[in-house]
Amino acid sequence: MDYGKCDRCGADLIPADWFEDIEYDSKTMLPTGRVRWAVGYIVCPECGEKYCVDDTFDGPWHYKS
């Protein structure tokens, strides 16, 4: 997957801070049982610049087995 280029030095960005995202029901705020792997932020391995991300790079929702 392409995470883009660093604005400061032009190096390829890499994902950082992977975590398991838990889905919650919007009405009851109880866990639905579905999870996905999500990216906390992307970072430049050359200069250390960090970039905030939305859910663009997150994996698909699935039921935890």
pLDDT digits (tens, 9 = 90+) for 29-39: 999 999 999 99
Neighbours of 6 (CB within 10 A): 19
Confidence of residue 51 (pLDDT cuts 50, 70, 90): very high
Q: Within 13 Å, how many C-alpha atoms sit on residue 19's CB side? A: 8
pLDDT digits (tens, 9 = 90+) for 4-43: 999 999 999 999 999 999 999 999 999 999 999 999 999 9
- pTM tops 0.95, yes or no: no
In this structure, which amino acid lies at residue 57? F
